[in-house]
């Protein structure tokens, strides 16, 4: 099935124009900055918050909407003036006292309180979730409105300041740089800033009783936060992350953020969680044996492919997951494991036995996180590497990252750049690998 391409949303529309998830995200404006003050009570799971959102109108607006699920909204201001607002589904509808002119910058302030809950859906529980002792945020793809009002679409990237106040025994980690911390009686306020543009689903808050583990110093500080009982196991399991970082920077260019934070929760998680400058693992992913090392490098790879470079529309998801999967194979080869060519042969045989009913460049909502998007996406890159040669292939990846640094990307943009680097028409190649459901033969 072919899905329509994203179309620009109408004035004030409660749609992003995304071809897969149009109900998430909104039209008529672009967010520039989120400023969030969160006061979280862990026991009762109670969040009291103030959000200040700086945005620019892309057209004249007599109304607009934000994505927000649950909570009681007590006040909405637009440019310091009270605004009318209503709730409908996961939309907060706002009518400012004065219409906003096209191109005008405006500030929305929202006060809200309630018990944050993850959103249920085809991908399980997504968003702000309670741990046995603490909380975590896992927002991909649509969980951000479970904890703050936003324009919830990956292409609307913005900067952030997030302050979280909670009980002092707990550590708070947010996807950003720690800008300040202050204690007041029994609570501590942690302030983080995220100066690089980030998609809403990549912003995360992690709260737990953690100890700090240094993984690597130098130009890119790398740290882990883990329960005390898992300190040494985490130190070992993430012990080769410095070498992974060195490989990734050699192949794809400089690390795009100022540091990298790993969080290991005291609870088990189905899968690790990707966030901007951060990756979150469950206790079940840490055993002191490096059993899950492929996941460690996969999540690190997302800092380039998925976070620095974010998809312009959810149908391009293979640009995140296929690339991160291929980095797993590159690391295996780098670290003395099976070479990428052998892993490509294994996975080609594995998914070759599955139904040929998915198009990698347009997998559909049910196929958004299908393992074939991951593995056949990686196979596409391996076949491209074989087709154009290592020199051209890795020069292409460096150029891809540099050209779109902190921006948004599409499949069409990647295939065009690949053809430019190869100096030949690659249309048939990409049609075969990305658009045709039948799995092509693997080059030998």
Give the 3-state secondary structure of residue 68. coil
First to last CA, the chain: 31
Q: Has 24 been labeled as part of a binding site? A: no
Residue whose pair of structure tokens reads 């005008």 in the numeric block: 104
Q: Has 302 been labeled as part of a binding site? A: yes
Active site residue 374: yes
Q: Which of 192, 255, 260, 374 is catalytic?
A: 374
- Tokens for 352? 């070759």
Active site residue 201: no
Instruction: Confirm if 154 and 143 have CB atoms less than 8 A apart.
Output: no
Sign of the CA dihedral with 228 first, then 230, 236, and 242 last: negative
DSSP letters spanning 8-59:
PPPTT-S----SS-TTSS-SSEEEEEEEEEEEEETTTTEEEEEEEEEEEESS
Separation of alpha carbons 253 and 171, rounded Å: 32
Nearest to 169 by CA among 209, 229, 130: 209
Q: Has 321 been labeled as part of a binding site? A: yes
Strand 187-198 with 222-226, pairing: unpaired
Q: Which of 109, 293, 299, 328 is catalytic?
A: 299
Nearest to 396 by CA among 311, 294, 328, 323: 323
Q: Find the Cα–Cα–Cα–Cα dihedral 365, 369, 370, 371, rounded to 10°.
A: 170
**Residues annotated in a binding site for Zn(2+):** 298, 302, 321
Active site residues: 299, 374
**Residues annotated in a binding site:** 298, 302, 321
């Amino acid at each position: 099935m072919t899905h329509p391409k994203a179309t620009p949303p109408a004035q004030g529309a409660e749609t992003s124009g995304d071809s897969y998830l149009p109900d998430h995200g909104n039209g008529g404006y672009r967010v520039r900055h989120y400023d969030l003050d969160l006061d979280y009570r862990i026991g009762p799971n109670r969040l009291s918050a103030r959000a200040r959102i700086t945005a620019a109108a892309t057209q004249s607006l007599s109304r607009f909407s934000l994505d927000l699920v649950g909570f009681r909204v007590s006040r909405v201001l637009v440019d310091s003036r009270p605004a009318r607002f209503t709730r409908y589904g996961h939309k907060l509808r706002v009518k400012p006292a004065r219409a906003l002119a096209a191109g005008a910058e405006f500030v929305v302030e929202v006060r809200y309180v309630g018990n944050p809950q993850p959103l249920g859906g085809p991908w399980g529980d997504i968003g702000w979730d309670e741990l046995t002792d603490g909380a975590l945020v896992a927002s991909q793809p649509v969980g951000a409105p479970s904890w703050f009002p936003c324009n919830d679409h990956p292409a609307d990237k913005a900067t952030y300041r997030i302050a979280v106040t909670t009980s002092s025994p707990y550590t708070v980690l947010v996807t950003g740089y720690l800008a300040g911390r202050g204690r007041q009686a029994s609570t501590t306020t942690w302030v983080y800033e995220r100066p690089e543009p980030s998609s809403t689903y990549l912003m995360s808050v992690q709260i737990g009783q953690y100890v700090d583990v240094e993984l690597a110093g130098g130009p890119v500080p790398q740290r882990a936060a883990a329960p005390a009982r898992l300190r040494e196991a985490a130190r070992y399991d993430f012990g080769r992350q410095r070498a992974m970082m060195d490989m990734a920077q050699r192949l794809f260019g400089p690390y795009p953020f100022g540091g990298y934070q790993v969080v290991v929760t005291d609870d088990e998680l189905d899968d690790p969680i990707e966030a901007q400058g951060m990756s979150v693992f469950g206790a079940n992913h840490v055993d002191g044996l490096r059993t899950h090392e492929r996941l460690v490098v996969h999540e690190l790879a997302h800092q380039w492919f998925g976070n620095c470079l974010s998809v312009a529309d959810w149908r391009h998801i293979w640009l995140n997951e296929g690339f991160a999967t291929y980095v797993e194979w590159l690391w295996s080869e780098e670290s003395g494991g099976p070479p990428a060519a052998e892993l490509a042969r294994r996975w080609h045989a594995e998914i070759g036995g599955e139904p040929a009913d998915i198009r990698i460049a347009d997998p559909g909502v049910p196929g958004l996180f299908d393992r074939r998007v991951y593995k056949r996406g990686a196979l596409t890159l391996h076949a491209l590497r074989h087709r154009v040669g290592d020199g051209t292939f890795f020069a292409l990846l460096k150029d891809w990252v540099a050209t779109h640094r902190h921006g948004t990307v599409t499949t069409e943009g990647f295939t065009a750049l690949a053809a430019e680097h190869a100096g030949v028409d690659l249309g048939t190649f990409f049609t075969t690998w990305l658009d045709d459901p039948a799995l092509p033969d693997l080059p030998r």
